[in-house]
Amino acid sequence: MNPLLYTDGYKVDHRRQYPTGTGLVYSNWTPRKSRIEGVDKVVFFGLQYFIKKYIISDFDKRFFSQPKEEVCRKYARRINNYLGENSVGVSHIEALHDLGYIPMVIKALPEGVSTPIRVPQFTMYNTLPQFFWLTNYFETLLSTTVWMPSNSATLAKRYRDILDQYAEETSTIPDFVDWQGHDFSMRGMAGLEAASISGAGHLLSFSGTDTIPAIDFLEKYYNADSDTEIVGGTVAATEHSVMCMGTDAGERETFRRLISEVYPKGVVSIVSDTWDLWKVLDEYLPEMKEEILGRDGKVVIRPDSGDPVDILCGNPAGKNETEVKGVIESLWDTFGGTVNEKGFKELDPHIGAIYGDSITLERAEDICQRLKVKGFASTNVVLGIGSFTYQYNTRDTFGFAMKATYGEVAGAGREIFKDPVTDDGTKKSAKGLLKVVKEGDEYVLVDQVDWEEEGKGELKEVFRDGKILVDHSLSEIRERLRNG
């Protein structure tokens, strides 16, 4: 498809709606509110992908390298069939094709930084006056591409903050947090692109993932190299079909075969609630204790149903002693471990647990807190973070919006803004040309500046006239994110 059709239908004729003589439109991308408790800053991530994939690659392949007559014929056919009788025309499309590149400037903060609500993460404007219509024409494509990786990177960082905090308080292996948040979301995402861009956002804060396409995404668009760095990884793991095929009566033997024959060393995660989790904890694992402790590796027990907080930490109203104790205490009673220098119990390194169903930010914190109260280190368990976290959100989770705040008509600048009287203030925009400065460690917006001041802030050119000027690497972005 012609990438000029990657837009909302109402935008195709805005070119003629702007005042006569319009020569510049200047817009910004800003998170305007947070609907997530405890999150007041938003991670910036995904613009580099947008530029490389759409503004450069797709336009080169599907617009500029195609015959102009064919491009314009298809564009006109779509608009005429879609809009009916109209005067949109194709002269502006022909002019862009003749130019051969996208005449825009994009200025951005470094990807991986966290910005307060209402601070712009990037701005964009046209470099040639006849293409003023392009700036906000890109709003739809830009928005549909960038909000999700930023959302997911922000949510992953919140998980990371929680897990880091409890690891600092209770554990002697804080580096394990790299693997403690594991991306299980791919099957619940809205297609492969959503899975890839969201999974990449997760990998800014963690190394554990089952979303393989996210690794390729980061290699292609963010200069990662899985041969020389850990981009993302996982361990051998079963699913219910494997356990079911071994039959209920043969479950004990399935466990033994996996532990001793299929995976005699290394990490293996075994889904353990296909039938009776408590039986696995009470009977199978004690019987295999010596085999497990004698392995060169770890056996990870994976419950997959019920309330994860109660399953892992214990349910006082449980129907049996093991349910009252919960998975972690039960594993401790069977396999033991050490009491670390902070006074918390760490399971023997040959055994562990993962819970990958129904994890939320609130439950992650509850699990860590209840383990702490019981005297266990938070790093005794891995949490699988799924599509409820990463897909069950929208652009409005952080109120992302691209809004024009400045324009030029007949060469004269106009500071423009919106401030709906019927709104609660969320939709009130900045005004005029924008500058973002740092006050201490905080990004702060200054609006209504002149062009000289606009060029002095933290927003730096990353794209101009068809060329990418800044090309971040995954390692750089991870370092920025983790160092605040």
For the stretch 334-352, pLDDT in tens is 999 999 999 999 999 999 9
CB of 243 within 8 A of CB of 249? no
Dist. CA 328–CA 309, nearest whole Å: 11
Dist. CA 258–CA 261, nearest whole Å: 6
Three-state SS sequence of 433-452: EEEEEEECCEEEEEEEECHH
Helices first, then strands: H and E counts in the chain: 22, 20
* pLDDT reading at 417 higher than 90: no
Specify the pLDDT at position 272. Answer: 93
CA 45 to chain centre: 8
C-alpha distances in angstroms, 405 versus 199, 248, 484? 33, 65, 29
pTM: 0.96
* pLDDT reading at 425 higher than 80: no
CB of 43 within 8 A of CB of 204? yes
The residue that leads in pLDDT, 424 or 139, is 139
* pLDDT reading at 357 higher than 90: no
Beta pairing class for 433-439 and 442-449:
antiparallel
CA 359, 364, 368, 370 torsion-angle sign: negative
Specify the pLDDT at position 427. Answer: 74
CB of 177 within 8 A of CB of 163? yes
* pLDDT reading at 8 higher than 90: yes
CB of 105 within 8 A of CB of 461? yes
Specify the pLDDT at position 419. Answer: 83
